[in-house]
Homo-oligomer: A and B are copies of this chain.
Amino acid sequence: MNKNKLFPQINGILHGGDYNAEQWLDRPDILAKDIELMKEAGMTSATLGVFSWSAYEPVEGEYHFDWLKDVMDNLYNAGIYTVLATPSGGKPAWMAQKYSEIRRVDSYDVREHQGVRENHCMSSPVYREKVANIIRQLHAHVGNHPGLIMWHVSNELGGECYCRLCVKRFQNYLAEKFDHDINKLNKAWWTTFWSHSYNSFSQIEPPYKNGDFSIMGLNLEWKRFTTWNMNDYMKSEIKLLRELTPDIPITTNFMQLYDGLDYRPMAKELDVISWDSYPRFHNDYESLADVMGQNTFDHAVMRSMKKDKPFMLMESAPGLVNWHPYNKLKRPGIHKLFSYNAIACGSDTVQYFQWRKGRGSFEQYHGAVVDHLGTNDTRIFKEVAALGAELDGLSEITGTLIRSKVALLFDWDNMWAIDDVKALGQESKKYPETCMSVYKELTKRGVDVDVIASDEPLDDYDVVVAPMLYMLRDGAAESLAAFVKRGGQLLSTYFTGYVDKDQLCILGGFPGNGLADVFGIISEEIDTLYPSDRNSVSFTDGSSCELRDYAEILRVGTADVLGTYDSDFYAGNAAVTVNSYGEGKAYYVAARIDYSKLGEIMEQMMVNAGIAIKDLPDGVQYHCRYADDGTAYGFFLNNTNEPQTISEVHGTDIQTKNIFDGKMELAPFGVSIIKENN
């Protein structure tokens, strides 16, 4: 057994999902049927209690936990373990009515009414006390249950609160951060602009929609504070859980590149990363391979937050969801393909929202294993059950890990800064899309890539790609310079190194903080193109490509020019350069060129760095997980509905036991896990 296996109690890949048993307490027949169907579907886990507070405590101080214990008993007796949520994601109506401070205040300074979910004030002492109490109660009743294998803190934490309690905490947070020196803050935020200087921390308000949204530093710090405050809240739950059950691992379920919180500081507090994945399959604007490519990027973001552990696919939808603009059915085979993609990318679980469709309210049509029809013979149930049978047999890959020599830098605060910057084109900034597009080019070449923060250590990497790294955190430029100097291959793009961590522009030339030397260029101007504008770049090797949206005009210092602009007033100027710096090379792509061309440049970087590239058919993905003993498990996934032939496969399919030493055929939407010959 690999030492990083998450759940020793469970044989193969954990198979589970949200189970809202409290919705069916008046239907014991259905609760009994659920156990039967879960066994049939090969479920090994159920997530309980996500929204059970009103069931636990329907009246203040009046508790009901027997039903929960019964459900956990019945599951456990059927060999199904419980992931137990703390119920703080949904606050009871009586509490919202009695304690108004637990309800958030919105960005117009208006207190919300009770409703929806995940919207308690993170600062409220009353709420924290109420949550601590219900967790103690929960622990008292089922905390030592043998079926309990994990805590699931709250649910999809997110959002902001602008109440007086939060504002006060924000002011204190700022005073701490700026050493109780208001002029330090004034300088960092450049508040002399528009006469916005403060003379006291008490004057600072959040960026209310009918207040101040003109100070970039304030806007950014408010987002950082929201992460800090949400994390502080989450830690208050975690601290108590660790006291009560030191041996039960803790997670919370993240969302896809959720832009309201920087997940990285939160990840540090968790034992395991888990997240909820809901791609828009079969849409009318991109291919299935593109959908899966983005999903792969999302998995990499999550995986890279804890590189030494598998992550968990905490939620996914059997069949369809109910909140996409068009809620199309997942075609046959896609559920399996999607689930294996998660595993290929490092997940050790496949979990669903939800086990059984509820009869009413917001998510009554959200995909589930068991439909309102209630039978085991639906298409969805049969696909889930077939997958469940397979997952049980994958014990040998549990606890294996991805190892990567390539990193893509992605920072939440860089995303926030770019999103907020008053420059460029309002509709064409597309920082996350740019990162994903770059990532897809690497995925096409069968290269597993870590997605990391710009100030994480780069020691393990040979290639680093840093698209649009507009904001330079303290030390980030120095780290990149050192990386290249010791032989690394670095690629950056237009809009790199303009500002410091407070969004103050760096004086003396972009990219700043020494990066101009690393790249051997200075960017003098950035041209923002209208959507229909086009230009192109001609390369010294005779190739060319189109560009759109952005083009910087460079002053070339020590760099070699690889490509030049073809037209406009900067025709002939450098568009793509490479600079030898120490032992390494630093590529600068000054314009938004075609991603396929960018892929070719990165391919050259792999060659420089001696990193192996796969020659894969279009639409086929490859990922590799390694066991403690170094055994490599190669995952081949066919994201097309045509059969595909893979070459250079050497090893054994761990499910079919077929042995390959050259070509391998993949069925439409097919998956193959090859234990590779070493």
**A211 touching B422, Cβ below 8 Å:** no
**A372 touching B197, Cβ below 8 Å:** no
Cβ-based interface call for A189 (8 A): yes
Known contacts A113-B211, A116-B212, A214-B115: does B422 contact A196 (CB below 8 Å)? no
Among A326-334, A471-479, A653-661, the one that faces the other chain is: A326-334
Q: Which of B54, B194, B319, B569 contacts A361 (CB 8 A)?
A: B194
Cβ-based interface call for A322 (8 A): yes
Known contacts A115-B211, A116-B214: does B364 contact A422 (CB below 8 Å)? yes
**B203 touching A93, Cβ below 8 Å:** yes
Q: Which residues on the B side are within 8 Å of A425 (C-beta)?
A: 325-327
**B195 touching A504, Cβ below 8 Å:** no
**B110 touching A58, Cβ below 8 Å:** no
Taking the closest CB of chain B, its distance from the CB of A373, in whole angstroms, is 5
Q: Which of B215, B284, B553 contacts A362 (CB 8 A)?
A: B215
**B190 touching A326, Cβ below 8 Å:** no
Q: Which of B110, B192, B214 contacts A23 (CB 8 A)?
A: B192
**B192 touching A22, Cβ below 8 Å:** yes
In the complex, which residues 522-538 of chain A have their Cβ closer than 8 Å to any Cβ of chain B?
522, 524-533
Cβ-based interface call for A424 (8 A): yes
**A193 touching B360, Cβ below 8 Å:** yes
**A364 touching B212, Cβ below 8 Å:** no
Cβ-based interface call for A251 (8 A): no
In the complex, which residues 63-109 of chain A have their Cβ closer than 8 Å to any Cβ of chain B?
87, 89-94, 97, 106, 108-109
Name the residue on B nearest A326 (C-beta): B425
Among A240-248, A395-403, A507-515, the one that faces the other chain is: A507-515
A55 CA / B331 CA spacing, docked (Å): 65
Cβ-based interface call for A133 (8 A): no
Taking the closest CB of chain B, its distance from the CB of A569, in whole angstroms, is 5
Q: Which residues on the B side are within 8 Å of A109 (C-beta)?
A: 113
Taking the closest CB of chain B, its distance from the CB of A215, in whole angstroms, is 5
Taking the closest CB of chain B, its distance from the CB of A572, in whole angstroms, is 14
Cβ-based interface call for A540 (8 A): no
Cβ-based interface call for A208 (8 A): yes
**B504 touching A194, Cβ below 8 Å:** no
**B505 touching A357, Cβ below 8 Å:** yes
Q: Which of B320, B371, B422, B530 contacts A365 (CB 8 A)?
A: B422
Known contacts A92-B197, A365-B423: does B115 contact A208 (CB below 8 Å)? yes
**A428 touching B193, Cβ below 8 Å:** no
Name the residue on B nearest A362 (C-beta): B214
How would residues 328 to 360 of chain A score, 1 for a CB under 8 Å from any chain B CB and 0 otherwise? 110110000000000000000000000001111
Q: Which residues on the B side are within 8 Å of A53 (C-beta)?
A: 195
Q: Which of B199, B323, B331, B509 contacts A93 (CB 8 A)?
A: B199
**A115 touching B213, Cβ below 8 Å:** yes
How would residues 421 to 445 of chain A score, 1 for a CB under 8 Å from any chain B CB and 0 otherwise? 1111111100000000000000000
In the complex, which residues 293-322 of chain A have their Cβ closer than 8 Å to any Cβ of chain B?
319-320, 322
A212 CA / B192 CA spacing, docked (Å): 40
Q: Which residues on the B side are within 8 Å of A357 (C-beta)?
A: 505
Q: Which of B322, B528, B569 contacts A423 (CB 8 A)?
A: B322
A384 CA / B218 CA spacing, docked (Å): 34
Name the residue on B nearest A202 (C-beta): B97
**B196 touching A528, Cβ below 8 Å:** no
**B195 touching A51, Cβ below 8 Å:** yes
Name the residue on B nearest A427 (C-beta): B325
**B531 touching A284, Cβ below 8 Å:** yes
Taking the closest CB of chain B, its distance from the CB of A529, in whole angstroms, is 7
Known contacts A524-B373, A529-B328, A530-B284: does B92 contact A358 (CB below 8 Å)? no
**A360 touching B505, Cβ below 8 Å:** yes
Known contacts A194-B90, A195-B55, A195-B87: does B374 contact A325 (CB below 8 Å)? no
Taking the closest CB of chain B, its distance from the CB of A636, in whole angstroms, is 23
Known contacts A106-B210, A114-B211, A504-B360: does B193 contact A322 (CB below 8 Å)? no
In the complex, which residues 466-520 of chain A have their Cβ closer than 8 Å to any Cβ of chain B?
502-510
Cβ-based interface call for A629 (8 A): no
Cβ-based interface call for A593 (8 A): no
Q: Which of B212, B424, B527 contacts A114 (CB 8 A)?
A: B212
**B524 touching A379, Cβ below 8 Å:** yes
Pairs A–B under 8 Å by Cβ, sample size 27: A51-B192, A54-B192, A55-B195, A55-B197, A90-B196, A93-B203, A94-B199, A94-B203, A97-B203, A113-B210, A113-B211, A114-B211, A115-B207, A115-B212, A115-B214, A117-B214, A189-B361, A190-B361, A193-B362, A215-B360, A319-B525, A326-B529, A359-B504, A359-B507, A364-B505, A372-B508, A373-B522
Where the two chains meet, the residues of A that have a C-beta atom closer than 8 Å to any C-beta of B are 20, 22-23, 26, 51-55, 58-59, 87, 89-94, 97, 106, 108-110, 112-117, 187-200, 202-203, 205, 207-208, 210-217, 282-284, 319-320, 322-323, 325-329, 331-332, 357-366, 371-374, 378-380, 421-428, 502-510, 522, 524-533, 553, 568-569
Since A55-B195, A331-B569, A371-B524 are in contact, a sample of 6 more A-B pairs with Cβ atoms closer than 8 Å, ordered by chain A residue number, is A53-B195, A94-B198, A115-B214, A328-B528, A360-B505, A364-B422
